[in-house]
Structure 1
Amino acid sequence: MANAYVQIGMAMFRTGILGYGGGPSIVPLIRYEAVTRFKWMKDEEFMEVLAIANTLPGPIATKLAGYLGYRLKGSLGAVLGVAAHILPTCVAMVGLYSFITFFSTSHVIKGMIAAVVPIVAVMLGVMAYEFGEKAVKGLGWTAGVIFFVLSFLLLQTFAVHPAIVIFLFLFYGAFHHKVKDKWGKSRKALGKGEGS
């Protein structure tokens, strides 16, 4: 990886320039750079990193940029990843500050912002569908649907903090295959008992 620094810089620069609307809208862009374009990691690993990053405090995009940089080139890569991601926005904010008050009342700008919202929703929906599809393949349909409903209830009905929900499912995931194997053995034993 002779040009890994260039790759990190360009990938995070693109996500910083093209990302609009905060962390959730930038995550699919970072995923594209890390998984599809440069193939730094598999989709499953990105899902795990995203889940862990969501449990930590701070903006999700900078955490992902820092992690990817660190994963490829250590501390210097992490600094480069974060800097390349946030510097374009910082420069643009400073350079365009004088126009903010002028455009804040413009109906054209308000319309542009409103038009971007569905695009971000579709990007997040596609990513959620792909993650859900992989989860169902790993867990099975029954467990996948149960965990989806359970997480929805915890987040929406009981207003449990997302970090706690993520931690609970990460904790379960560490023991999932053992639980699945025990469940399968007990069902086989029950089936043999009924057969005899």
Structure 2
Amino acid sequence: MARLTFSLCFIGFFLCFIMYINTMQGKTWCVAQSQATEPKLQQVLDYLCGQVDCKEIQHGGSCFNPNTVRNHASYAIDLNFQINGVCDISYATPAVTDPSFGTCGKTWCVAQSQATEPKLQQVLDYLCGQVDCKEIQPGGSCFNPNTVRNHASYAIDLNFQINGVCDISYATPAVTDPSFGTCVYP
């Protein structure tokens, strides 16, 4: 009995340690509990979609399929968690493995529409000293349109994908892929 108790304690500690490490690296998600009922998840989905942008789980969105209440609720629950930091354990559970598939659940980080051009130029100058900005240099796949805002958005997102930082003083999370033409955001 003592060995079983020790083993269970060790497993619990190990799982908590993994979750802590992933949380410290910004790699935590929040999804629907497996035991949550479909009516409860529908109620949660209806409420959360009044609070966050659920267009990706609407018909034609990148996360519409599989078209189930559980998958749609998990999307809305996690989006709310990523934006507001809320993971309500009455219907949701933290996850340390990425529940997304394809482009569903992917998050980008781009320049805020209200960020000023001087601020974005400052951010662009700093970030291009930290990450590889070759794609926004002349001849790069994301050089055009040649604007500070577009170049800053690419550099902000590249930094976000590498370092997990989306500084809300000049940037905002995006759930719609900002890629266009030959410019593919990471």
Kindly name which structure, 1 or 2, has the bigger radius of gyration based on alpha carbons: 1
* TM-score, shorter chain, exceeding 0.5: no
What's the TM-score once normalised by structure 1's chain length? 0.19
Give TM-score scaled by structure 2 length: 0.20
